[in-house]
């Protein structure tokens, strides 16, 4: 059953990739009017493929649940793949309402990056640790992922709005900020490529160190060690690094290794960004802007708001209400300033502020798009940096 589950995930990934190509074609043919971007047959084909991919990934989720004996959302691989699936579900809902093909391009790209990112983490089916043996696992975590998946569509819409709207004929703070966002996406892709490369080479370097439980242990990296363990001793000869040690205050399971992974993501993204600049000889935003020049910006702005209006209450329910109930059941308190709890609160406050500014202050258009983009970056910081760098009670994830 576990093998079937993995096969279904690979098939879903391939279908999403084809859907991305089809949606890309849909915005590059018949570009003469805005209506064409909503009605051409390529867009309908991409939508059908997205649904097929979602159903296939749902099959992965069900079969893995059967194989594991519990909801498969208990580690980074499982949660992140589920988050990608919920993102596709959010796209399907939004596309069924608005039929805007441009949304499909970036929705599929982001979903592919998220699922590929998840595949870099251990995929073994393992029994739940005692802290997660609760019905609140599937209630809390799945609701959070659903809310964040729908909120991710507001990011997709916001990014499209900015790409289409920002003046790329001159360099400005806006163009720089947009490039930083696109670089962030390339960092995720870079992490995936680097992980695959070193995995193919069977690269390993081991250190002797004192682990998070203050016990002597061996820590093995699958990438060259830029950041080594604090007071660690390298056991593998003829291997690169480390250039420096991870800070002593970093806690959590294999925290130095996770910091090293995060640094490699940033460096590989920078390399990819530099190669693209040399190839395109212009900013990435300027290079892709022509493909979105006929997008109906008013409709894209409406999608930004609608995705937040749907996703925000779902996230609030899962990320705060259900989380507090589970925290009280597990730790006899509803709040403890754990990093995950803090970032869930930051996410809630940010999107609450977005709705207030949009509904009360009239922040539409470009202002709304920037907020949607920043909101998703907060979500991804919680998923990536908080899990890999800032440890806490949720370190088992």
Q: Which of 93, 85, 92 is nearest to 110 (CA)?
A: 85
Tell me, what's the pLDDT at 328? 81
In a domain, 268, yes or no: no
Tell me, what's the pLDDT at 38? 52
Q: How many domains does the chain have?
A: 1
Structure-token pair, residue 107:
């929705």
Tell me, what's the pLDDT at 397? 47
In a domain, 333, yes or no: no
- Domain residue limits at 77: 2-168+286-320
**Residue 65: in which H helix or E strand, if any?**
helix 41-68
In a domain, 66, yes or no: yes
Tell me, what's the pLDDT at 104? 92
Q: What are phi and psi of 396, to 5 degrees?
A: -65, -20
Structure-token pair, residue 94:
């939004």
Handedness of CA 190, 192, 193, 194 (dihedral sign): positive
In a domain, 304, yes or no: yes
Tell me, what's the pLDDT at 308? 95
**Residue 313: in which H helix or E strand, if any?**
helix 297-316
Tell me, what's the pLDDT at 323? 84
Query: Cα separations (Å) of 345 from 191, 217, 335, 351?
Result: 28, 35, 11, 10
In a domain, 274, yes or no: no
In a domain, 345, yes or no: no
Tell me, what's the pLDDT at 32? 43
How many angstroms from the chain centroid is the CA of residue 361?
Answer: 30
* 394 burial via Cβ count (<10 Å: 0-12, 13-18, 19+): middle
Tell me, what's the pLDDT at 338? 77
Tell me, what's the pLDDT at 392? 53
Q: Which of 166, 155, 188 is nearest to 351 (CA)?
A: 155
In contact, 312 and 352? CB cutoff 8 Å? yes
Tell me, what's the pLDDT at 93? 93
Q: What are phi and psi of 78, to 5 degrees?
A: -70, -45
Instruction: Give the integer Cα–Cα distance in Å for 148 and 203.
Output: 34
Q: Collapsing DSSP states into helix, strand and coil, what is residue 212? A: coil
Tell me, what's the pLDDT at 36? 46
Tell me, what's the pLDDT at 152? 95
Low-confidence ranges of the chain (pLDDT < 70): 30-39, 129-132, 212, 251-253, 388-397
Instruction: Give the integer Cα–Cα distance in Å for 243 and 230.
Output: 12
53: left (phi over 0), alpha (psi -120 to 50) or beta: alpha
Q: What are phi and psi of 207, to 5 degrees?
A: -130, 145
Per-position b or e across 188-217, b if 16+ CB within 10 A of its CB: bbbbbebbeebeeeeeebbbebeebeeeee
Structure-token pair, residue 34:
């805005």
In a domain, 178, yes or no: no
In a domain, 181, yes or no: no
């Amino acid at each position: 059953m576990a093998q079937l589950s993995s096969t279904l995930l690979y098939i879903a990934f391939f279908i999403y990739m084809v859907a991305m190509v089809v949606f890309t074609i849909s915005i590059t043919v018949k570009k003469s009017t805005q209506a064409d971007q909503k009605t051409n047959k390529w867009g309908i084909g991409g939508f059908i493929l997205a649904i097929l991919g979602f159903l296939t990934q749902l099959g992965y989720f069900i079969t893995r649940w059967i194989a594991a004996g519990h909801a498969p959302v208990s580690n980074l691989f499982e949660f992140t793949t589920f988050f990608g699936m919920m993102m596709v579900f959010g796209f399907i809902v939004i596309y069924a309402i608005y039929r805007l093909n441009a949304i499909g391009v970036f929705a599929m790209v982001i979903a592919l990056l998220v699922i590929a990112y998840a595949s870099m983490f251990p995929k073994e089916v393992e029994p739940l640790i005692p802290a997660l043996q609760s019905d609140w696992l599937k209630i809390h975590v799945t609701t959070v992922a659903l809310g964040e998946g729908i909120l991710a569509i507001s990011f997709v819409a916001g990014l499209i709005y900015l790409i289409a709207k920002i003046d790329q004929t001159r360099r400005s703070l806006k163009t720089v900020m947009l490039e930083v966002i696109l670089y962030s996406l390339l960092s995720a892709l870079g992490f995936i490529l680097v992980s695959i490369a070193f995995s193919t080479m069977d690269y390993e370097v081991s250190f002797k160190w004192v682990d998070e439980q203050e016990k002597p242990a061996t820590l093995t990296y699958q990438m060259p060690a830029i950041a080594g363990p604090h007071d660690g001793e390298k056991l593998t000869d003829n291997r690169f690094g480390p250039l420096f040690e991870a800070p002593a205050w970093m806690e959590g399971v294999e925290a130095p290794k996770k910091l090293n992974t995060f640094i490699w993501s940033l460096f590989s993204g920078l390399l990819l960004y530099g190669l693209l600049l040399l190839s395109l000889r212009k900013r990435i935003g300027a290079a892709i802007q022509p493909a979105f020049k006929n997008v109906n910006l008013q409709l894209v702005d409406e999608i930004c708001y609608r995705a937040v209006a749907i996703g925000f209450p779902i996230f609030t329910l899962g990320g705060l209400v259900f989380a507090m109930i589970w925290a009280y059941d597990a730790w006899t308190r509803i709040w403890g300033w754990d990093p995950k709890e803090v970032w869930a609160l930051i996410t809630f406050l940010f999107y609450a502020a977005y709705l207030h500014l949009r509904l009360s202050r009239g922040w539409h258009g470009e202002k709304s798009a920037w907020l949607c983009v920043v909101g998703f970056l907060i979500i991804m910081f919680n998923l990536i940096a908080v899990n890999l760098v800032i440890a806490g009670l949720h370190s088992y994830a």
